[in-house]
């Protein structure tokens, strides 16, 4: 019973490098999203998807790209890493109909130097 | 958009005492208020939620109250135990009328239960 799986758990990047955070869920959830967590700022929505082929911007989308080619996968791409993107990233998923619970992955700790 | 404020940012209590975390929201259209617990090194996990047509909800040692008029809601943990130590997030979401409804999170409260 995997739930929401994120990889990698830890990553150090140099400024200007690009990388992809992987996210997969096995609960057949329609909705998937990416949040970043920073001290004193709670969880902020980066991008979200309501289904395969459909994505939209959240509160803090700049510098990030997403795609949703399958129901299960929702990768987050950092195009050109900046120190301001040092954060903990959480992927999440939920049902579209009747479900309110958001299920989070265990997080990816990213440091940009 | 919605704005959720959460207080206090840190809270220390003796084991066995009660802990209360308070949140306020700004959007009167919000009608669903979940609380998440985040243990160290883990992702947040839903522990209890309340809808706007209910004033209070209990689940064993935790309870949530909602005052729609004042736009505030609170988490109450009684008989605290060391395993209650974690970061707690409140959140608010408007009514689902079709499509994705964004959840707005508070800034979190770090609860420490001292044995």
Q: pLDDT category, B54, cuts 50, 70, 90?
A: confident
d(CA A96, CA B80): 35
B32 CA to chain A: closest CA distance, Å? 9
Q: A42 vs B34: CB contact, 8 Å cut-off?
A: no
Q: Burial code of A57-90, b = ≥16 C-beta within 10 A, e = fewer?
A: ebebbeebebbbeebbebbbebeebeeebbbbbb
pLDDT of residue A41: 86
Section B5-16 average pLDDT: 97
Section A54-73 average pLDDT: 96
On chain B, the residues whose CB falls within 8 A of the CB of A95 are none
Q: pLDDT category, A2, cuts 50, 70, 90?
A: confident
Report pLDDT digits (tens) over A42-57: 899 999 999 999 999 9
When scoring B100, B101, B102, B106 by the number of chain A Cβ atoms within 10 A, the one with the most, hence best to mutate, is: B100
Helix (H) or strand (E) holding B28: none
């Amino acid at each position: 019973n995997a739930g929401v799986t994120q990889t990698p758990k830890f990553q150090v990047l140099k400024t200007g490098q690009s990388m992809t955070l992987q996210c997969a869920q096995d609960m057949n959830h329609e909705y998937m999203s990416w949040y970043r967590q920073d001290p004193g700022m709670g969880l902020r929505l980066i991008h979200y998807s309501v289904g395969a082929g459909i994505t939209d911007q959240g509160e803090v989308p700049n510098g990030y790209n997403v795609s949703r080619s399958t129901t299960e996968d929702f990768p987050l791409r950092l195009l050109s890493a900046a120190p301001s993107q040092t954060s903990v990233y959480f992927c999440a998923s939920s049902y579209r109909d009747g479900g309110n619970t958001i299920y989070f992955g265990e997080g990816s700790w990213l440091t940009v130097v | 958009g919605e704005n959720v404020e959460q207080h206090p940012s840190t809270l220390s209590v003796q084991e066995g005492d009660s802990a209360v975390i308070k949140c306020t929201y700004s959007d009167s259209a919000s009608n669903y208020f979940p609380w998440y617990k985040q243990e160290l090194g883990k992702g947040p996990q839903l522990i209890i939620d309340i809808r706007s047509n209910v004033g209070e909800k209990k689940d064993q040692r935790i309870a949530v109250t909602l005052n729609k008029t004042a736009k505030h809601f609170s988490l109450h943990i009684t008989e605290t135990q060391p395993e209650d130590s974690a970061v707690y997030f409140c959140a608010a979401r408007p009514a689902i009328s079709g499509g994705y409804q964004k959840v707005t999170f508070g800034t979190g409260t770090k609860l420490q239960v001292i044995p």
